[in-house]
Amino acid sequence: MITVLRLEHRVGRDKRMTTHCALTARALGADGMVYSGDHDSKMEENIESVAERWGGDFGVEHVKSWKTFLKNFDGKRIYLSMYGLPVQNCIDDVKDYDENLCVIVGGEKVPGDIYNYIDTQIAVTNQPHSEVAALAVFLDRLHEGKELEYSFDGGSIEVVPKKTGKDVREDK
């Protein structure tokens, strides 16, 4: 089970970024996302609507305290940060974990005490970049590209790949 934790969401400032974290997590093999900070029922509804229309069993949940969530999380806690160990050097260790994973991505300014709640810190690159990009690269490395072929049961919308143009089938 892979859960993504988005730290300190701010309604009005982060709605697109948090939404993109959730969409990326869903599309690339995570089972769900939790977020701290401001409660945002509109963002939650948008993600639930995507899962309903496009398929799969992905949910989003608000938590009041990321510290309490991480303290009680049953599994390994991985913080994606540009200051961590290079993903290419440690992803095999993560693949060997026989536990649930919580993949943590930052928000506005990540509190320094995050390090008291994690098992490891992994960097996709040691340069400034987006948490959405870090999450995408991490999940792709974790799943070895297999997530690119996942199918999602229960949806009513399906894209038929084409070299040019669009072919979207509804009520598949």
CB-CB contact of 158 with 110 (8 Å): no
- Domain with 73, as residue range(s), is 2-170
Reported pTM: 0.95
Give the Cα separation of 43 and 125 in Å (integer).
Answer: 28
What is the domain-level CATH number for residue 155?
3.40.1280.10
Give the Cα separation of 6 and 141 in Å (integer).
Answer: 20
pLDDT tens-digit profile of 134-169?
999 999 999 999 999 998 999 999 999 999 999 999
Supply angle C-alpha 124, 69, 151, rounded to 5: 55
pLDDT tens-digit profile of 16-75?
999 999 999 999 999 999 999 999 999 999 999 999 999 999 999 999 999 999 999 999
Integer angstrom CA distances of residue 13 from 16, 23, 66, 86: 8, 17, 19, 29
Task: Give the total number of structural domains in the chain.
Answer: 1
